[in-house]
Amino acid sequence: MEMLRERIKGLEHKIIEMIRAGQENVAIADRLHRWTRSLMLTPDPRDLPDVLVSQVKQQFLVPQAAVRLWGVEAAYAELPQAQGVSEEVRAMAQSLSLPFCGLNAGGEVVKWLEDAHTVASMAMIPLRHGPGDGCFGLLVLGSPDPTRYAADMGTDFLMRMGELASAAMSRMLSAPAA
C-alpha cells in the first residue's frame, strides 16, 4: 500500500510540473504573439529596427538588445542599425547555423549593446530568409545573468525569433540582382 502511495505522489508531482510547463508555454506564446503583432503593424520600415529591439526588451524582459543589418536599400543605409558591421562579424554571422548562446567574450557585437560592460551572457541570432540563404543581419541579446544565455540551452525559441525578425527586416533589404 505504501508503495502505491509513493507512486501516486510521484505522478501528482509530474502532473503539477506539466501544468506549470504548459502555463509557461502559453505565456511565451502570448509574448511572441504581441512581439510579432508589433512588427507587423509597423508601417514604416525605417522604424522596424527600433520596434524590434524595444519590443524584444519589453515582451521578453531582455535587459539589452541590438540589431544590425547589411545589404539594405539605399533609403535605409544611413540608419544606425545599418552601420559599423565588420566583414569579420558578417562572416561569423554567416557561419551560424543556430543561434549562439554563451558567456560574453567581448568583441564587436557586444559593443552594440547600451551597457556592454554589464553583459555576462549573450545570444546572437542570425537573420536570414532560410537555412541555406545568406545572412543579412544579426540580433544580439545581452544579460548581466551569466546563466541566461548558456551554451547548453535549447535554441528553438531563439530560432523562431530569428525567423520572425528576418521576415520583418527583409522589407528593408535591397532587391537581389537579376
Give residue 171's region: left, alpha or beta (phi > 0; psi -120 to 50): alpha
Query: What confidence score (pLDDT) does residue 38 get?
Result: 96
Task: Decide: 61 and 89 in contact? Cβ < 8 Å.
Answer: no
Contacts of 160 (CB under 8 A, 6+ apart): 32
Task: Decide: 123 and 149 in contact? Cβ < 8 Å.
Answer: yes
Q: How does pLDDT run across 116-136, given as a tens digit for each residue?
A: 999 999 999 999 987 778 899
Q: How does pLDDT run across 149-165, given as a tens digit for each residue?
A: 998 888 888 999 999 99
Share of the chain above pLDDT 70, in %: 98
The answer on pLDDT for 12 being more than 50 is yes
The answer on pLDDT for 171 being more than 50 is yes
Average pLDDT, the chain: 91
Query: Within the chain, what is the greatest distance between any pair of CA atoms?
Result: 76
d(CA 117, CA 111): 9
Query: What confidence score (pLDDT) does residue 176 get?
Result: 60
Give the residue among 161, 65, 159, 146 at the shortest CA–CA distance from 113: 65
Predicted TM-score of the model (pTM): 0.86
Using a CB cutoff of 8 Å and minimum separation of 24, what contacts does 74-78 make? 74/174, 75/46, 76/45, 76/46, 76/172
